[in-house]
Structure 1
């Protein structure tokens, strides 16, 4: 990227390819409106956030059967139904809630049933982008993707994606049916895609959709205080937020905040600009419950953050400097992505 200027570079606003679709470089992850981070917002607050996102030009909305065990798909379907033709709607199968528990299940019969349930909750005849949320190690990826390909043939899904898988699994799946997008965690402190999937997606013409690009709220103006997180907040089980590692990460965050201030942007904008600069095939989907933060995130596309600022940010916080793994050992064992340095 070039030095700051008042002009908005066309490349920062230009649509990025997501299979048959063109979407802005920043979309919206909808998970935290129903799931994972303690008590969700009220229905009114969630609806306001989604409606504002449409009004502000968000095109890609990302949900999943897992989020709220169906509640998030219902929310997105109810609120965004009137805007269906103006958005790209993504959801996921292969990991759902069963009797109050998270279950990974990539069997073809489960995928077919989950898709029908999703279509009903989303109030649509077709899902634009349907991901396999997790690789079920008991089921060859070829079988799971084969069942998803049948959904495309049946007109229930337009394009297929994978989530949290390695480059080798991506290539196996892509040989069965074209994969439009690979969704993996990617941020300044989660560099796993740089171990293979960033290059593989580029080679195959697959979009890399970066979830948690703001490091689960850590790279924002109000980082979480672990001791104040509500019960069942998933960050309570993540090593980077525990007492042994969090202080070291906060020290790195302070350095990043200084870089952002020196270049006239917020820390969140610096972090998002860094992710979006990692390739023209990269799309970020930060989540938020705040209209103010939503607008702050989207305003990143109106900024020309200098290359030296992005380079400095990437040196301050990376796989070698971050403290702690991104998941605990149990969760890491479930995930097919490449490990990254000492941080998992």
Structure 2
């Protein structure tokens, strides 16, 4: 006796299936995915909801060919050896992968000329740029944005969507924490002046020192490279200032300071309290654990991709100001007068 094997063959949903279920034309479905700004918001949402229900996914190659896009985002960062930027890049890659986009990234080694050259080279290869802590002038960024979608991370420029951290609030929280611990001579080791975040943190430190001058003395120790080695140099300078607490421009500098000071036999935080910025993963692994202002780095990278896609689709992406928070650990303690 012969037997017949019935095999159910799964046929993926097509744009025509979505059109039929949503009660629209196939061309409207196509526009909803390639030029969503041309479709009425209610109709667009109906199409997307129907597509999800049918598990419909538009052909990526066809979608890109029809829209004239490459499917690539350009991520330009100043130093991927810095764990802060590595975390931002991780967020960018994660979000881009989820949207079936590819990422071309460039490390411009904190050099404005190298960044400019990288952007010029990448322009014909990508659909949009994500510029992280860009060293380019406002005019250069605005000019680039006139030709191609741009999203800024940790930087702002007129009429360009950005993901920005509240550096001023972070500095205020750090300074107030040290005041609450009884410190009265508080130092700040700043980063490179080309960095807008360095300028914002220095401005906020200066403001805090001025408003609390009756209770404390805020001392700007100087500008240093935002590296481990820069932190070591900052430690030597800070020792000559007679401060009992120091805020470093970033965690990498703070860790460099801690390493140098411990090598001198200085007890942390008994002899000197230290606060960093960024709250990179290694901050909590130090001994003592580093008190740091937390900036949500991976989330910033993910949001930047969402804004880049929104800018590509509607040319009307909004900007996001991200809150920060002080993560108090064991590198700060109450002021102890020298015995």
Scaled by the length of structure 1, the TM-score of the pair is: 0.28
Scaled by the length of structure 2, the TM-score of the pair is: 0.28
Q: Could you say which structure has the larger radius of gyration?
A: 2
The higher relative CO (CA closer than 8 Å, separation ≥ 6) is in: 1
